[in-house]
Each structure stands twice: as C-alpha cells, then as structure tokens.
Structure 1
Amino acid sequence: MEMKGYTLCKDTADPYVAALLNSGKHSMKAHEILSGRTALYTNIGFNNPVTFVKELEEALAVHDKQLHDTYKSSRKKIEGLFGISLEENFLSWMSGEFAVTQSEPGLLGREPELILAIRAKNIKDARKNMEFIEKKIRRRTPVKIKTVNYKDFDINYVEMKGFFRLFFGKLFDKFEKPYYTYVDDYVVFSNKAASLLSFVEDYEQKNLLKNNPGFKNALSYLKSNSTIFLYTDINKFYPLLKPMMNVATWNEIESNKDVLYSFPYWTMQVVGDGSSASLQYVMDYKPYKPEESVVVASDEADEEMNEDAETEKEQMSELKRFYIEKFQGNVLREFYPEGALKSEAEVKGGKRHGRYREYYENGKLKSRGKYSNNQPKGTWKYYSEEGKFESKEKF
C-alpha cells in the first residue's frame, strides 16, 4: 500500500517541525551502521545544523515568545556554565543527519535499547570537539565512569544535560547523560552503557538494519534524501508497545493484533521544501497467520544436570563479563520479566564470588548468602514472601 501527497505548513505547526521543513533535507546513511534488531527508526535531516537552529529560533519567536525566551536563556546558561560555544563546538562538526532507534533487547538486558547516531562531516573533527566539550564538563561535573575500550571502540560517558533537548525537544529527552562512541562517520550515543555495547556487537557481527529484507524493500520506494523518515518493523516493535500504553489502549491494540501484523513494515517519509512538504507512506501487506506452537517431547535424561559442568549463567560471555566489571561495579543483576529485581551477585573473574541476594517479585528478600568461585559458601538464610525468616542452610 503506497500513498503520496503534499501539504502546506500552517502557522500553528510545531516550531521544531516548521524549522525542519524550512531547513532542507539530507542523505540517509545511518542504516548502514544501525542494528538489525531495530524496531523503530527515525531519521531527521537538514542542509545545515546552524541554519536549522536559526530557523528554530525564528519559529519559536513566532509560535511562542515565552518558549523562545526559555530556549535563549537555556542556551546562554549552558554556554556560560561550561565555557563552550554550542555553534562552534557542537554544531560545527555535524553534517545534518540525526538517527534515533529503539531496538529489541540485546545481549545485556531485557530493556528496549535507545540509540542516537549523529553523522559528522569529519569524524576527527567531531572527536576533537567532543573531547573538548567533555573536558570542560568534567571540570564542573564529576563523573564516576571513565572512558573504557571495548574491541577498539572507546566507550565514553559525559553529562550533557539540556544539549539535545535544546535543539530537538522531547524526542531527545533520554540522552541527557549519554554514553557514546565513534562508528565510521557517526558519533553514537545511548542512555545506557549496555545498549551501546550491544550495538557495537551487532556492528562487529554485521547484524545491520541495511541487511533487513523489509527495510531494503521499503527503502527502494523512497528518496535517498529526506527531512523526516520513519520506519517500523511491527514484528520487533509490537512486543515493546505494552509498557507505553494504558490498559484500555493496550487491550484495544491486542484485539486488532492480526491487522497490525498483516502490515509488518511501515514507512513514512517527509521531504521539506520551505512552505510545503511532500509526504509518502509505504506499508507492506502480508496476511497474518499465527504460528502454531509445536510441543516437543523431552527426554528426562537430557534434563539431568551435570554437576561438574558450568551452567550458562556460570559461564559468562566476554561481553557480559566486561559490562559487569567496567560498568556495574562487579555486581551481576538479574530481573523478573516485568522488571523487578530478582537477584544481585558479586562477581570476580566472571564467576559469582562474594555476597548474594535473591528477591521475590514483590521486592521482599527471599534468600541471602555468599558464593565462592561459583559455589554457595557459609550460612545461607531463607525468608517467606512476607519477609519472615524461615530457615538456614550451611554450605
């Protein structure tokens, strides 16, 4: 299903949208580095970041004087506080392509992952200016995490509160205190270290959005230069929807699940041209047929535990071990499907070693004790869901 059309920009349009439509377009290349686990992909493009900011200031002045004054005040405050120029140190190295993705959970957790990729004119210039900004910010804001290296990628952390929201509003709220690294011509940010490390793994293993058949097909219908581009892989995105919805909305969506899944790939593109904009929608149609679950008989002998062998949890991957040691303070945390903390274990050399705590889903302590080289040690105590002591065991 394909739809094309044009629209005129009204005076009542959101100032960020108005500024975008007046700022041209940019070629899209971010899909060449983004993860194949991408569920929702937004690409924003314009001719020149500096021109866009000037258009934004004019749009804010017309749309909302109070909002305009707040914007100017925030910019002045950031520049004065850290002794930097947002135009010279932050906008100057940007080419004009911004990509934001929400992906399926990766190798280091159960939460959806957010990534922001900003294309640079010259990655060396981008790195130089980011290091300058980081140096200035560190003088005023002490941070706990230093730069660490993973597979030749430097994972950096810096508090950039107000930077992204200043230019692009609420869409960039999640990147106030980002971790970031450099990939090809892009500076790649995420609100969590785990998300950035999983992103690096996908990039290294060539698990990329550009290779997704649905995305390749959708892109073949659209222009390579864009102002606003939106792509959704419903098979990946649908499981991420529930936390965003209230119960009534989610129940309504669930009742129409077969319709949504019949359109597995949704794509929208807007190309701005001053006062007008061209719009195009492309939706793939494939009748949804629920997969039949097949019950496989298991052999009881296969389920017996080999006590001498390390379990999957005991044998940590290189990535997980790196993450726990560098970013989690040597503490391995596991969670219930709905997000509640299930357990905390101190880790040494990739194995449980030290204090251990396990919790019920209601947050009450279930058991506590110590591990030594992956084996329970000493006295362990067990509690009821009401928090009452039940028993103890000596190892």
Structure 2
Amino acid sequence: MKGTIIVSVVLFVAVVAASIFYFTGLGSVQKDLAAPLASLPEETLFVAAFKNDETTDNIFKDYEVFDAILGFKQKARLDSLKQEVLRSPVLSEYLSGTDVYISFHQVEKEVETLFTIPTSESIDAKEISSVLNQIEKPYNIAPLDTLGNTIYALTSDSSNLSLYIAYQNDIFSVSPSVSVLAKVLDKRHPKLSRDRINFYLEHTNRNVPLSIYFAHQQVDSLTKQFQRNRPRDFMQQFLGLGGQSAWNINYKQDALMLTGESELAKTENSYIALFAKQQKQTQRLYNYFPSNTALYLEYALSDERGFRQDLERYVSKKTSQKRVLDQIANLRSSRQSLMQNLEQSIGKEFALLELDNGNYLGFASLKDSTAFEKILDDVAESAGDNIYRFKYEHLMYAFYGDALQNFQRPYFTIVDDIIVMANQSSTLTDYLRRWRNSDLLIGTLGFKNYERLQGNEANVTFFAHTKNASRMLGNNLATTYARNFRNNKDFGYQDFYSWSVQLTGNGGNFISSMYGIYKSSNALGVSADWTYAFNNRLITRPYVFEHSDTSQFILAQEQDHTVHAIHPSGNKMWSAVFSGRIIGDMVQWKDRSIFLVTDRNRLYRFDTNGKGMDGFSLGLPEEPTGSPTIASLAGQDIILVPLSDRLEAYDMQGNIVDNWDMERVSGRLLPGIHLWKDFIVVGSTKGFVYFLGSDGKTIKRLDGGDEEIFRSELGRVSRADEEYFVATDTEGILHWFSFDKENRTTQLPDLSAKHRSYFAHLSSPSNTDMVILDDNMMYVYELGDSVTTKFKQGFTKDLSTTPLFLPNGSVSQLGISIPSNNIIYVFGENGTPTSGFPIEALPLFYYGRINYNGANYLLSTKRDHKLYAYKH
C-alpha cells in the first residue's frame, strides 16, 4: 500500500510514552546525565526520559493515551511490576533520586524495551544477588551467566512477562530481552556517540515530565520492522535522512503532544531536507481537502527561488530518474517561454493526498490566476466539465519535486486559486461533487479538535486520519502490528482520531512536533452521567427551570407532543401530552408557572408539577408566531401572544384583556417584544417600529424609510442617555430607532439579503451584542456608541438553525448547531469555543447548570431518542 507506513512510525514513537506512566516514581536527582545514555547500543531506535516526582505521577494518572497505545493487558502487567518490583522497599532505597530512561531496540522481527535506571548510591556487585532476592513474591530470581556478566532472570508464575536485570557502573539495566542486555554489557559493542548524547541533553527540558530522543537514520529500520511492503510516496520522503530529534511532551488529557527540535545531517539525498532553509508559512490548502482524506502532506514555501535552486541540485543527483530529468530538460529548452510563464503563475503551496480508496489528489496554489488562464490552452487540453489534462509529462515534478512525482500527466481542475490534480478524471469528478456539497475534512468534528491543538504555520505537515486510513493500514502493517491495530478490546489505536507531524524550517534544521488526537472517555460528550429515554425524537431543546427554592428541573417536548419533566438526576417527574408543537420558547413567570404556545392555536400556563392553572389552556384566534411575553403595565400583569401581524393580550386567568385594541402592523410582526417605560415596543417586516400603550393602541410609529424589508428580530440597546431599538434590513443596514431622537443607520459589511440577526447580552448585562448568521458565516458585534466587531467564525456548512443563548450567570453563552453534520458549539465571549466543544450531537441541546450551585452539564440527544446528560 502506498506510503502509509509513516503512520506506523508515528504510532510506534508514541508507544514510548505509554510505558512511562507505569514506571514513574523512581526519582529525579541525577549524578551524571550522560552515563545512562552512554551505555546504550549505537543502533538504539529511540529513547525516552522522564522526571520522577509527585507532579509527574499526578499528570499521568489515568492518562488514557498511554493505555490505548501500550494495550490494556500490558498496562495491568506493568502496573503490577512497578508496584511489586521497582517500588519494592529493597529497590526504592537505591533508585530514589534518579532519572529513568526507556529505549527501544530491534531484535530480529520484534522491538524490545530496555529500562536504564542509575542508582543513587553504589551497590557492591557481591550484594546484587542478595538485594534482588529480597523482592517479595510472586517473583522468582535466578542468575544467568552471559559473556562473563551476570544477568538475573525475574519471572512470575502469575504472568507470562519475564524480565532480565543487570547491574553495571551504578546502573540497573532491565529488559525482557537477554540479547539487548548483552549489547549493553559488552564494552566492545558500539554505543551512542558523544555528539548524539550531547544533543539529547542540550534539548531536554528538565521542567517537563517526558522527553523523547530519536535518531533519524532509524526511520529505515522502523520501516522494515513495521512495513509489509516496500515503502512508497509518503514514506520515501523521510528515508535516508541523518540527524536526530529531541521532543518534550506537552500534557493534554485527550492528546499526545510532542514538540522540540530536529537536527539534520546527510541531507544531500533527502527531499524533506529541502524545506529546512524555509521559514514558517501559513498553510491553507487543507481547507480544500475532501472529507475522505486518509493521509496528506502539505508544503508551504517562504523562498520559492531558493527552494527551486535546491530542488534542481537535489534531482540532478537522482540517476534513477534520468529519463524524467531528460524530459524536463527538453521541456525547459524547447518550451522555454511556456515554462517561465508557468513558473510565474504557480504558487508556493502544494500538497499530496491519499484518499480512503487509495486514489491520490495533488494540490498546487496559483499566485496569478489570470496569468495561468492565459497559458491554459498552451499547457493543457480540455477533458470536459471544467476538467483539463496537462499536455506535457512531469510538469509538476519539475517545479515541486518528489511531492508530486506520482502525477506524470494528470487531469486537473481549478477551484478558487487552486489547481487540483488526479490521475483519473473520475477522481476529480468525485472531488468536485464533494467540494460543491462542502463535504470537506475541515467540516468534521475530529479535524476541528485537531485544528485547535496544532496550528497551521509550518513548512511541512503530515496528517493521518485513523478511520479513513484504517483499511490501508491494516493491509500494509506487518501481521503482528496489523492485528494490534484492529484489536479494539486490548488496544485503543482506533480511538485516535488522527496522527500528525509538523516541520518548520530553522536555519537548515527543523522545529518539529507530533500530535496524536485521542477520543478520551473523560472528554465531554463521551460518558453520560445519566440518560432519559423518549419514544420519539425531541422537537424542542431541553429547558431548565426553577422547581422550588432548592431544586430545578428540565422540560422538553418530543415528536408526539408529549412534554416531559425530568429531575436533575435523570428521573422522570411527570409527562403530559400537549395540543400541538411548541412555538418559540417556554417562559417561566416569577411565581414559577410556565407559559407556552403551540401550533394548534393554544396558550398554556401550568405549574411545576404539570397541572394546568385555572383558565388554561385556551384557544387563540390564529397560529402564534413566537413566544409569549409577560408584561406589567398600568398595574396589571398581562400575557402578550404574537400573531402574524398583531399582539393578543390576556390576563393571568386566561381572559381577553377588555380594553386591548391593537391595530394590525404593516407587514408581519418581527420576533422580539420589548417593555420600555410604559410602552410595548414591536417591529414589523416593512421597516416600522411601534410604541404601544397599555391598551395596545399605537402611541408612536417610526419608519425605517424607503420600504425597507427587515428580516431580523427587534433588538434593544440601552445607552446612558437613550434607548434604541435595532434591526437589520435585507441590504445589510442596521437601523437604530429612538423614541425622541433622530433615527440613524450603520452599514454592515458583506451580508447577503438572507442573513439573520439576533440580540443578546454575551459579555455584560449592560451591553447588547448582535449575532448575525449568513450562509456559513457567523459575525458577532458589540453595539455601543459604534458597532464593533467582536469576532467572526466560518463553517463548512450553512447555519440553518437559530442560535441558542444559554444561561451563564447574568449573561448568556452563544450556542450554535449545524444539522448537516451534527456538530454543536458553545462559544465564550472572546469567540473561542468553550473547552470541550465542538462535539458531535443533534442540534437541540442545552449547556449550563441543571440544579442550583451544581456543575455545568451538556444535555443533548442522539438518534436513539435519548437525552444524554454529560457533566462538565
């Protein structure tokens, strides 16, 4: 399979971290940092080192990432070994105050582990046997003689895990492999060089709990170990590179994050080394990758001329590519003008993708689309449906090298300012369909979580989507590792969303990082505190209301119109069938009674036990258009129900208010009923704002002018000297209406006629914020003396639902749902998603407290008609 072994290398490097947790607690003070490393064989694949203190123990406690990589059974065995052997009283005396190194070594077709642990004080060689024999059962200790060195075998009847222990130069060496220990003890066997050890120590951050050291030349060995077939394409770019990397861990509960530096050597035959002289650039091509992407390598250049000069020197040494190089040389001489024009047209970003079906896509940016269009007929021929094919072979290889060498004479299409290439036109047809449907990688939940952790500024980014790459991984890994990868019971590899490696040029070397994004059982939306089963799907979001002075409760309506009352513990309190679907929101009054209206022209008022109040429910003259509002006017509490072009008014016993006489508005009522001084303020779609008296009669009508069409709800902005009522029209103009001051307008940028506006207090009870949804964009503005942009957010899918304004103390939090891909967000006031979001759930949800002084909960649903309560 093509190129997928790099995923295996990433997974394998991560296995280092898995072992660390089980052997923490062994000490942090070192006599000589170099001595333990100097005992390791030269061919060591890579090394991990960790500090031991209570902080390290606490950081990695219940760190599921380690368990998932190492395997749950192996975790139990090593946990037992840690407690019973390495933390036994007899060994703790000598191991306290030291660091621990874990290295990995190839032994025939297996990879074995070696633990190197310096002692805090010397132990006489004659006493080693006595010390080890003091370890309590169930372990048995037996000496072996190997090359004149004594190795002790430690076995247990209760486990098939055996270890061998040697002690030399105040260092314990522990491994399940005798041959590995023999190389450590053999003074004639080549060891790690002083230069490598110095690099490792120089780049170790002593303030982090875990560091990893890796020699690049071992990539070839790891490839042979894990790869079933010959590596191609993706992996080939990383082979044959000398030098080394040192990474330090950045702790996060649901991710493995390693960052550090990579020193390069022997770069003359390495394609990836061409990017080491570049400077970091913002990568953007991934925004165009389809959702079925399995692997990608994305590249970005800061110095195109320098890269192409280095590339020319690099490819000139590839004697195996002589035919290709001759063809390119012929093109440069015979089509000199064309090649120059093409070089001036194409950009500094390019990428290689492998899809879940094994097909490849290539991407290259255009820095001058107009210039490319002028030479399009010279470089390509039409294949129909906006798909073309290059006339000449190896054009992309000539400018970008190995990344695009798989595309000899590809088909291509143009999306925005991007050339998208494939070897079959059908692959491009499928891509264009996905592009038009916004079926993109960036629209998936896992990728959004990945984006939040790993930035997009780099020169090279490798990304592997575990699920999309699972088939090719299973086919390409060696049998043992393929079996482990598929084994969901004993391992957690498939609970990783993705693996990635990112490289940024650093004066001829790299700043490098590695990320594994894990689906932790502790993450929001994974483990529910309780569930509540409905018979049908929900048709309202869950609401949380006061039930008594000491408790709250949850209300929600399902498709058969049953309203369910649920205790914060998840137990049913009561349920009742209502006539029709609830329109707008349920509203709770100060006496804790709840009001709602339905599409069967009914107005309800009931108490917290579900009992209807006297006089309710009652019929309405027509279908209501929004939530009821309770107003206190002229000493009387009245219920205002919005109909299509007027308000109906009822007293608290369900009677029509006698003196109510509201004229019909011009157009339809806008959502939003406001109470200000002695007025009821409403707006209409025709651009009018009405100030109504307590009898419903119009006291004043303000005109937006020019027959504007208002689409938004009517908002309210309180200023020190005046009250404004605001709405946006189809031209993207924000209108400010004042009772006794001149109206004014603010032109908002880049809004379509179909945008929708909503108003809430997101940062302060005294400041009004405006949320605008327009196709797939969300804008949030603060409305003060001027209109200030707070933040904006783009999505891959259109925002078809109404935003939720969720309780958060005296202000609200903004909730957004995207039904087309079932992703939900809760945003903080600065525009960043609240910790734990986004997550996958159906659009109707609630986030906040569900009981007084309790924790925040996410209440959401899945397609199984259950309400899930996730504590956060």
The answer to whether 1:179 aligns with 2:408 is no
- Partner Cα distance (1:6, 1:287) in 2: 28
Structure 1 counterpart of 2:333: 80
- Partner Cα distance (1:85, 1:122) in 2: 16
Shift of 1:79: 2.2
Structure 2 counterpart of 1:255: 484
How big is each residue's C-alpha offset from its partner over 1:288-334, in whole Å with a ceiling of 9 and x where there is no partner?
9xxxxxxxxxxxxxxxxxxxxxxxxxxxxxxxxxxxxxxxxxxxxxx
The answer to whether 1:217 aligns with 2:449 is yes
- Name which one, 1 or 2, has greater alpha-carbon Rg: 2
Q: Is the 8 A contact 1:50 1:92 kept in 2?
A: no
Higher-RCO chain (CA-CA 8 Å, sequence separation at least 6): 1
The answer to whether 1:286 aligns with 2:519 is yes
Shift of 1:29: 1.3
Kindly tell me: are residues 276 and 123 of structure 1, through their superposed partners in 2, closer, same or farther at Cα, counting changes over 3 Å? Answer: same
Q: Is the 8 A contact 1:93 1:126 kept in 2?
A: yes
Shift of 1:125: 2.0
Which of 371, 376, 380 is equivalent to 1:130?
Answer: 376
- Partner Cα distance (2:509, 2:333) in 1: 37
- Partner Cα distance (1:86, 1:222) in 2: 39
- Partner Cα distance (2:277, 2:442) in 1: 29
- Partner Cα distance (2:398, 2:295) in 1: 23
Shift of 1:35: 0.8
Kindly tell me: are residues 229 and 161 of structure 1, through their superposed partners in 2, closer, same or farther at Cα, counting changes over 3 Å? Answer: same
Partner SS for 1:282: strand
The answer to whether 1:92 aligns with 2:338 is no
Q: Which has the higher helix share?
A: 1
- Partner Cα distance (1:91, 1:60) in 2: 17
1:54-203 residue pairs with structure 2 within 5 A?
A: 54-59=309-314, 64=317, 73-81=326-334, 83-85=335-337, 88-104=340-356, 111-134=357-380, 146-149=382-385, 154-203=386-435
How big is each residue's C-alpha offset from its partner over 1:158-193, in whole Å with a ceiling of 9 and x where there is no partner?
243222334444442331121111101101111111
Q: Is the 8 A contact 2:379 2:392 kept in 1?
A: no
Q: Is the 8 A contact 1:90 1:130 kept in 2?
A: no
- Partner Cα distance (2:467, 2:458) in 1: 25
1:291-330 residue pairs with structure 2 within 5 A?
A: none
Structure 2 counterpart of 1:291: none
- Partner Cα distance (2:320, 2:472) in 1: 32
Higher mean displacement: 45-54 or 224-233: 45-54
Q: Please, which runs of 5 or more residues in structure 1 have no aligned partner?
A: 105-110, 136-145, 289-395
The residue type equivalent to 1:253 in the other structure is: A
Q: Please, which runs of 5 or more residues in structure 2 have no aligned partner?
A: 1-255, 522-872
Kindly tell me: are residues 120 and 165 of structure 1, through their superposed partners in 2, closer, same or farther at Cα, counting changes over 3 Å? Answer: closer
- Partner Cα distance (1:21, 1:36) in 2: 30
Structure 1 counterpart of 2:70: none
Kindly tell me: are residues 176 and 285 of structure 1, through their superposed partners in 2, closer, same or farther at Cα, counting changes over 3 Å? Answer: same
Q: Is the 8 A contact 1:49 1:96 kept in 2?
A: yes
- Partner Cα distance (2:426, 2:502) in 1: 31
Partner SS for 1:44: strand
Q: Is the 8 A contact 1:57 1:68 kept in 2?
A: no
The residue type equivalent to 2:294 in the other structure is: A
Shift of 1:126: 2.4
- Partner Cα distance (2:262, 2:278) in 1: 16
- Partner Cα distance (1:190, 1:58) in 2: 27
Kindly tell me: are residues 283 and 74 of structure 1, through their superposed partners in 2, closer, same or farther at Cα, counting changes over 3 Å? Answer: same
- Partner Cα distance (2:507, 2:428) in 1: 36
- Partner Cα distance (1:250, 1:130) in 2: 48
Q: Is the 8 A contact 1:21 1:275 kept in 2?
A: yes
The residue type equivalent to 2:466 in the other structure is: I
Kindly tell me: are residues 130 and 23 of structure 1, through their superposed partners in 2, closer, same or farther at Cα, counting changes over 3 Å? Answer: farther
Structure 1 counterpart of 2:440: 208
Percent pairwise identity: 18
- Partner Cα distance (2:322, 2:413) in 1: 33
The answer to whether 1:47 aligns with 2:283 is no
Kindly tell me: are residues 76 and 207 of structure 1, through their superposed partners in 2, closer, same or farther at Cα, counting changes over 3 Å? Answer: same
- Partner Cα distance (1:202, 1:95) in 2: 24
Kindly tell me: are residues 262 and 14 of structure 1, through their superposed partners in 2, closer, same or farther at Cα, counting changes over 3 Å? Answer: farther
Partner SS for 1:92: helix
- Partner Cα distance (2:503, 2:454) in 1: 10
Q: Is the 8 A contact 1:268 1:280 kept in 2?
A: yes
Structure 1 counterpart of 2:628: none
Shift of 1:238: 0.9
Higher mean displacement: 28-37 or 14-23: 14-23
The residue type equivalent to 2:330 in the other structure is: K
The residue type equivalent to 2:481 in the other structure is: E
Q: Is the 8 A contact 2:394 2:409 kept in 1?
A: no
The residue type equivalent to 1:124 in the other structure is: T
Structure 1 counterpart of 2:470: 238
Structure 1 counterpart of 2:285: 30
- Partner Cα distance (1:66, 1:233) in 2: 34
Kindly tell me: are residues 69 and 274 of structure 1, through their superposed partners in 2, closer, same or farther at Cα, counting changes over 3 Å? Answer: farther
Shift of 1:253: 1.3
Q: Is the 8 A contact 1:46 1:97 kept in 2?
A: yes
Q: Is the 8 A contact 1:71 1:166 kept in 2?
A: no
Scaled by the length of structure 2, the TM-score of the pair is: 0.28
Shift of 1:101: 1.4
- Partner Cα distance (1:242, 1:263) in 2: 15
Kindly tell me: are residues 128 and 48 of structure 1, through their superposed partners in 2, closer, same or farther at Cα, counting changes over 3 Å? Answer: farther
Q: Is the 8 A contact 1:24 1:45 kept in 2?
A: no
How big is each residue's C-alpha offset from its partner over 1:320-377, in whole Å with a ceiling of 9 and x where there is no partner?
xxxxxxxxxxxxxxxxxxxxxxxxxxxxxxxxxxxxxxxxxxxxxxxxxxxxxxxxxx
Kindly tell me: are residues 69 and 23 of structure 1, through their superposed partners in 2, closer, same or farther at Cα, counting changes over 3 Å? Answer: farther
Shift of 1:32: 1.9
Partner SS for 2:404: helix
- Partner Cα distance (1:251, 1:159) in 2: 46
The residue type equivalent to 1:148 in the other structure is: G
Partner SS for 1:267: strand
Higher mean displacement: 229-238 or 15-24: 15-24
The residue type equivalent to 1:126 in the other structure is: F
Partner SS for 2:432: helix
The residue type equivalent to 1:270 in the other structure is: L
1:345-384 residue pairs with structure 2 within 5 A?
A: none
- Partner Cα distance (2:392, 2:277) in 1: 27
Shift of 1:3: 0.1
Structure 2 counterpart of 1:367: none
